[in-house]
Chains A and B, each alone.
Chain A
Amino acid sequence: MSLILDRRTLVLGAAATLAGCDRLAKNEAFREVLFSAENFHKWAQRSLMARNALAHEFRPDQISPFFRPNGTANPNTPEYKALWRNGFADWRLRIGGLVERPLALSLADLRAFPHREQITRHDCVEGWSAIGKWRGVVLNQILDAARLRDGARYIVFRCADDMGGGQGYYESIDLTDAFHPQTILAFALNDQPLRVANGAPLRLRVERQLGYKHAKYLMQIEAVATMDGIGGGKGGYWEDHAGYDWYAGI
């Protein structure tokens, strides 16, 4: 008969039931179930798509009139300000971790790699979308130049924006997305050098996932075997602090 009561409660006042759901969500075992749906979605999506299935690329006339920046609009740390004042001439992207050949690349070095241009849709976890034209270096070129060592499973991106308490923004992707042909380190948006609000001087584009994976203000790329010991261990700043899914394909 509890089902009938549930219905009655539902009609009389959703609030009580919702409070019940909230209590349920605090139960450790149930929470585990809620948080593991991500694994199903990742498995299902990866099973349905070809490894290199491309995100849709749009026509130039479909670009959003204004590309909405989100999250940090300016890192505003003394270090970042110094780099910005100098036109990022002193900025270096450090590539390390489980690689044979650690690198430190300037913007000019990066531009010497083959470029890719793509007009793609940026989908925020909040629900909005913006279409922009990105230009950048294909990440797999850089990883090949640094030569990943055996055991590397994830690529971690560390950023210049301090999210408070000395914790920098960071994100991570696995090798499937890291070697995807549309995964680029973008230095230009809509034919202009990346603006500070959009992640200058360099940001990640990982087109088959939601916006928070697209780390801005890149400083360091690290190949790792596990996320343990990095940040809160969940693979990204929002994953650690807000409980966002690490796999953001959905």
Chain B
Amino acid sequence: MDGPLSDREQATPRLVLRHKWPTRLWHWLNALLLYVLFTSGLGIFNAHPRLYWGQYGANFDHPWLELERFGRWITLPAHYNLAMSRHWHLTAAPIFAFALLFYMLWSLLGRHLARDLAFRRGELAPGHVWQDIRDHARLRFPTGEAALHYNVLQKASYIGVIFLALPLIVLTGLTMSPGMNAAWPWLVELFGGRQSARSIHFITAFALLAFFLVHILMVLLAGPGNEIRSMISGRYRIPETHAEKGR
């Protein structure tokens, strides 16, 4: 999120460059890749729809979760084909992982993290957090200058997704690879076993699905046209304050 754009746009100060190009590019790349990864991942899961904790787990061991196969409407390909699901998944995964790595580095070095996502003094005070939750629940979105900054809930979810959930799903994915286990033995130790890693991978995928659903809902509620434009061209129209509306 930046200040006003150029001289021409200074003249219409309500339009700002909200998202820089790395954010926009990464966003749409993720939309595509996470879709492929989620649906092909369900296709792979269908080959053995049981989850275990620990180092091992097969049909005669106790699963903590056992599901029916996911339907063809949500798997890639849209019929059971483990080899093709794996081709899709393992093609998308490295692109996704390296894009994430570059975005994390850019956020750190380009000060996106420090400027836009880091919590400000006092933001984490219980009273402030509670106020943000109440505003959010009542769908009272910030207007004017305040709309240029993320609130506490947004910051927490973006930091949680970029620096926790996404790295977690990459690392647990790598942990399932026997080759990577030989290359980086610390991976299996970190997650307490290959089957634990598989379980965490699955749970994280559904946590990201939950994030996605809330994300879409918030975009729809906050004004999809303006929000989607800000993620394509970067231009974001600052919502008028109530005082301005009255003028």
Contact = CB atoms under 8 A, between A and B. Distances in A.
Interface in A16-63: 17-19, 21-22, 25, 33-35, 37-38, 40-41, 44-45, 48-49, 53-56, 58, 62
A242 interface: yes
A124 B48 contact: yes
Given A37-B91, A56-B185, A209 B179 contact: yes
Contact of A14 (B74, B184, B216, B232): B74
Contact of B55 (A37, A121, A244): A121
Interface stretch (A4-12, A80-88, A190-198): A4-12
B151 interface: no
A208 B56 contact: no
B190 to A, nearest CB: 13
Interface in B47-77: 47-48, 50, 55-61, 72-77
Interface in B21-68: 28, 31-32, 35-36, 39, 44-45, 47-48, 50, 55-61
B164 to A, nearest CB: 24
Given A37-B87, A210-B178, A21 B76 contact: yes
Contacts of B31: 3, 6-7
A18 B28 contact: no
Contact of A208 (B45, B59, B178): B178
Given A14-B74, A21-B77, A127 B94 contact: no
Central interface residue in A37, A68, A238, by most chain B CB within 10 Å: A37
A4 B84 contact: no
Most buried by B among A18, A123, A126, A248: A18
B39 A14 contact: yes
A131 B77 contact: no
Contacts of A22: 76-78
B57 A207 contact: no
Contact of B57 (A49, A129, A208): A129
Q: Is the interface of B mostly helix, strand, loop or mixed?
A: helix
A19 B47 CA distance: 20
Interface residues of A, number: 58
B228 interface: yes
Contacts of B195: 128-129
B50 to A, nearest CB: 8
Contact of A45 (B28, B60, B73, B180): B180
Contacts of B241: none
A65 B58 CA distance: 10
A65 B183 contact: no
Contacts of B161: none
A249 B184 CA distance: 13
A56 B181 contact: yes
A52 B233 CA distance: 50
Query: Which interface residue of B31, B32, B35 has the most chain A CB atoms within 10 A?
Result: B35
Given A21-B36, A56-B185, A121-B55, A3 B74 contact: no
Contacts of B77: 18, 21-22, 25
A76 interface: no
Contacts of A13: 73
The 7 closest A-B pairs by CB, nearest first: A249-B179, A49-B183, A127-B48, A126-B47, A243-B83, A128-B58, A37-B91
Interface of B: 28, 31-32, 35-36, 39, 44-45, 47-48, 50, 55-61, 72-78, 82-84, 86-88, 90-91, 94, 176-185, 188, 194-195, 198, 216, 228, 232
Given A10-B35, A125-B86, 4 more contacts: A19-B78, A21-B88, A25-B88, A127-B47
Interface of A: 3-4, 6-7, 10-11, 13-15, 17-19, 21-22, 25, 33-35, 37-38, 40-41, 44-45, 48-49, 53-56, 58, 62, 64-66, 68, 121, 123-131, 207-210, 238, 242-245, 248-250
